[in-house]
């Protein structure tokens, strides 16, 4: 049922004019009031402006007061969080500084050692020849895993040269022609590569399995464990002088270690995807260290030893410092305790002295009284002996203690 | 503090706090804002006859104008018009329904915003960000539904209907 026009008028009238239980103004009157406010606000009437200023002042102050607790909380919170941040920063910086100080010395030692070792390695292995070749044939034969490259004896390729893809070992040259060569891949079953398992530093021989993996042979399996969950990397050991040491080959399958199976090495490289390879050979060179080098090594070794000892000394000194601090703390506490004891003793002493003095005085008094009984009459001033002393005076007391007046010669 | 005191003065307190406080409820996210005062006034004018006194609403409007730097009386007018709308709706409603209230609220705020913006543009040469105002109207409209539940829950809670 739709409301009639009369109903609408009644509802509107009621909405505008009806006052609630505690309302003093109807809505209509207030609306008219606000419209008047608005209209008069357009014209700069003095009374309106004055009212505006008064209302603004009241409201600004009210707003300020209402916001006081909130602002105080905000400020306090910001202050506290700032303090905490500063403290955290301070702790971090302190720790970092300590670590850096420690590391600085260690770093110096490592740098020196590194320089030494590098020198040694560079002197030991010298690159003999190097060439880049394109893979001509890499057809997988069921019997031989090998590739044919487009470099031969004309380019200086020799039998036994190591072949790399990027930094990884691929194989070695087994057949050299004038323009081409054949490379036996390390995945071939006939390939035997002397290897080292890092970081355990265990030596062994790796043989190919004809697939993307190899097998470790002649290796002490008992020593191989994976307690630290580190990857066991297989690199060339350099034994035999064909390959230089440290060329990465692959990783040991960790599940094989756990199950105690044959140790399988997963190669880093897929040998079926080879396009270009690097051929290089390394020869073992006798280390001819001349006298000047020897002197440098000696000096460096000395410096390393010195720094090592310094770092040890620093550690010892640090421990000593901690101990000293503890001792100092103990001594301070002892000192405080002793000071207190001394003060107490002094107080006691003073009290004892006072008591002794009192006792002495008492005994003197007693002696005086005793002597007074015996010799008092000899010292007391009377009508006939006016040269003597009045009772209670110091002279009388001295006279009694002296057991009579002092005779004058 | 008696239940009736809380019941009566909580909306007044909220109204003045939301106007006077720096963190008013007109939150300004990039694409979202809403006018809490509109929701509060409409809800309490609709649900309670003279829920927040008209005089107090008028004064709150003046306060809002001063704080926001609007011409004096504009907010009072819009708040009172909202009260008129709520009172009219209350008079014609026999069976209250939240959805009807909600739609009426949308119509009311559209009309009174129209009046306010027209007045501001015509007489005071104000520039209005229509995108912001639109999002404000939509936000206010959408949140009315949620706030009406919150207010109802609060009123029932204060009057001890959950005991």
The interface pTM score, or ipTM, of the predicted complex is 0.78
**Least confident interval from A222-226, A335-339, B10-14, B102-106:** A222-226
Asked if B54's CB is within 8 angstroms of A63's CB, the reply is no
pLDDT at A284 over 60: no
pLDDT at A356: 94
Angle at B88 between CA B12 and CA B135, to 5 degrees: 65
Taking contacts as CB-CB distances below 8 angstroms, the residues of chain B near A59 are: 20, 62-63, 66-67
- Of B21, B61, B119, which has the smallest distance from its Cβ to A67's Cβ? B21
A59, A64, A71: which to substitute to probe chain B, counting the most B Cβ within 10 Å? Answer: A59
Taking residues A145-150, what's their average pLDDT?
A: 80
A62-106 pLDDT tens trace: 777 777 777 788 888 888 989 989 999 999 998 889 888 877 777
Euclidean distance between CA atoms B155 and A159, whole angstroms: 96
What is the rounded radius of gyration, in angstroms, for the C-alpha atoms of chain B? 16
Could you tell me how far CA A210 lies from the centroid of its own chain?
A: 50
A182-211 pLDDT tens trace: 888 888 877 888 888 877 778 888 888 777
B63, B70, B85, B100: which to substitute to probe chain A, counting the most A Cβ within 10 Å? Answer: B63
**Where is A309: in which H helix or E strand?**
helix A291-379
Asked if B80's CB is within 8 angstroms of A27's CB, the reply is yes
pLDDT at A391 over 70: yes
Tell me the two tokens of residue B1: 């503090």
- Of B17, B74, B77, which has the smallest distance from its Cβ to A31's Cβ? B77
pLDDT at A93: 92
pLDDT at A123: 44
Euclidean distance between CA atoms A250 and A231, whole angstroms: 10
Q: What are the sequence ranges of the domains in chain B?
A: 3-158
- Of A11, A41, A59, which has the smallest distance from its Cβ to B67's Cβ? A59
Euclidean distance between CA atoms A177 and A221, whole angstroms: 41
Calculate the alpha carbon distances from B113 to A171, A256, B10, B128 in Å. Answer: 83, 77, 26, 12
Calculate the alpha carbon distances from B142 to A98, A263, B109 in Å. Answer: 58, 68, 12
Torsion of CA A288, A293, A299, A305, to 10 degrees: -40
**Chain A residues contacting B via beta carbons under 8 Å:** 3, 7-8, 10-12, 14-16, 18-27, 30-31, 33-38, 41-42, 52, 55-56, 59-60, 62-63, 66-67, 70-71
Q: How many CB pairs under 8 A join A and B?
A: 107
Could you tell me what percentage of chain A is helix, strand and coil, using 3-state DSSP and rounding each to the nearest 5?
A: 55, 20, 25
Please enumerate in sequence order all residues whose Cβ is within 8 A of that of A272, keeping only pairs 6 or more positions apart, or say none.
A138, A140
In angstroms, how far is the first alpha carbon of chain A from the final one? 154
Asked if A34's CB is within 8 angstroms of B50's CB, the reply is no
Q: What are the sequence ranges of the domains in chain A?
A: 24-84
Minimum distance, in Å, between the CA of residue A86 and any CA atom of chain B: 28
Average pLDDT, chain A: 79
Q: Which fold has domain B3-158?
A: Arp2/3 complex 21 kDa subunit ARPC3 (1.10.1760)
**Least confident interval from A12-21, A68-77, A292-301, A334-343:** A12-21
pLDDT at A186: 86
pLDDT at A20 over 60: no
Minimum distance, in Å, between the CA of residue B45 and any CA atom of chain A: 11
pLDDT at A352: 94
> Burial of A67 by CB count in 10 Å (0-12 exposed, 13-18 middle, 19+ buried)?
middle
């Amino acid at each position: 049922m739709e409301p009639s026009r009369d109903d609408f008028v009644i509802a509107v009238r009621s909405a505008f004019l009806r006052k609630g239980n505690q309302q003093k103004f109807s809505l209509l009157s207030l609306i008219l009031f606000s419209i008047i406010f608005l209209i008069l606000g357009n014209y700069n009437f003095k009374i309106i402006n004055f009212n505006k200023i008064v209302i603004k002042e009241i409201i600004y102050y009210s707003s300020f007061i209402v916001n006081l607790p909130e602002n105080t909380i905000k400020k306090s919170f910001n202050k506290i969080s700032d303090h905490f941040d500063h403290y955290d920063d301070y702790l971090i910086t302190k720790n970092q500084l300590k670590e850096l100080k420690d590391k600085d010395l260690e770093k110096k030692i490592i740098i020196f050692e590194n320089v030494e070792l590098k020198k040694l390695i560079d002197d030991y292995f010298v690159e003999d020849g190097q060439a880049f070749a394109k893979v001509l044939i890499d057809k997988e034969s069921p019997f031989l895993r090998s590739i044919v490259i487009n470099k031969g004896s004309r380019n200086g390729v020799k039998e036994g040269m190591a072949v790399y893809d990027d930094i990884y070992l691929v194989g070695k040259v087994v057949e050299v022609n004038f323009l081409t060569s054949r490379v036996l891949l390390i995945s071939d079953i006939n390939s035997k590569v002397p290897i080292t398992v890092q970081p355990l530093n265990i030596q062994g021989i790796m043989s190919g399995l004809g697939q993307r993996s190899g097998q470790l042979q002649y290796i002490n399996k008992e020593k191989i464990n994976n307690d630290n969950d580190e990857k066991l990397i297989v690199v060339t050991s350099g034994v035999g002088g064909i390959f230089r040491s440290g060329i990465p080959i692959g990783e040991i399958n960790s599940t094989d270690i756990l199950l105690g199976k044959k140790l399988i090495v997963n190669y880093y490289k897929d040998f079926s995807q080879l396009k270009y390879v690097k051929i290089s050979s390394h020869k073992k060179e006798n280390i001819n260290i001349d006298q000047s080098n020897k002197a440098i090594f000696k000096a460096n070794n000395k410096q390393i030893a010195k720094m090592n000892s310094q770092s040890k000394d620093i550690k010892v000194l640090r421990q000593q410092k901690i101990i000293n601090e503890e001792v100092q703390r103990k001594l301070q506490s002892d000192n405080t305790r002793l000071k207190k004891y001394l003060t107490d003793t002094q107080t006691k002493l003073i009290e004892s002295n006072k008591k002794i003095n009192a006792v002495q005085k008492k005994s003197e008094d007693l002696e005086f009284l005793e002597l007074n009984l015996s010799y008092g009459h000899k010292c007391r001033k009377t009508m006939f002996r006016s040269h003597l002393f009045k009772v209670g005076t110091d002279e009388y007391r001295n006279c009694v203690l002296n057991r009579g007046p002092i005779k004058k010669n | 503090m008696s239940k009736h005191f809380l019941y009566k003065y909580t909306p007044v307190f909220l109204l003045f706090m939301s106007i006077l406080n720096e963190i008013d409820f007109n939150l300004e996210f990039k694409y979202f804002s809403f006018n809490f005062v509109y929701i509060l006034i409409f809800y309490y004018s609709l649900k309670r006859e003279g829920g927040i006194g008209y005089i107090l609403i008028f004064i709150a409007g003046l306060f809002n104008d001063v704080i926001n730097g609007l011409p004096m009386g504009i907010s009072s007018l819009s708040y009172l018009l909202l009260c008129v709308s709520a009172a009219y709706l209350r008079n014609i409603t026999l069976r209250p329904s939240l959805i009807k209230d909600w739609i009426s609220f949308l119509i009311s705020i559209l009309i009174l915003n129209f009046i306010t913006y027209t007045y501001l543009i015509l007489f005071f040469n104000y520039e209005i960000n229509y995108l912001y105002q639109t999002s404000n109207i939509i936000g206010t409209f959408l949140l009315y539904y949620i706030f009406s539940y919150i207010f109802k829950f609060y009123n029932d809670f204060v009057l001890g209907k959950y005991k």
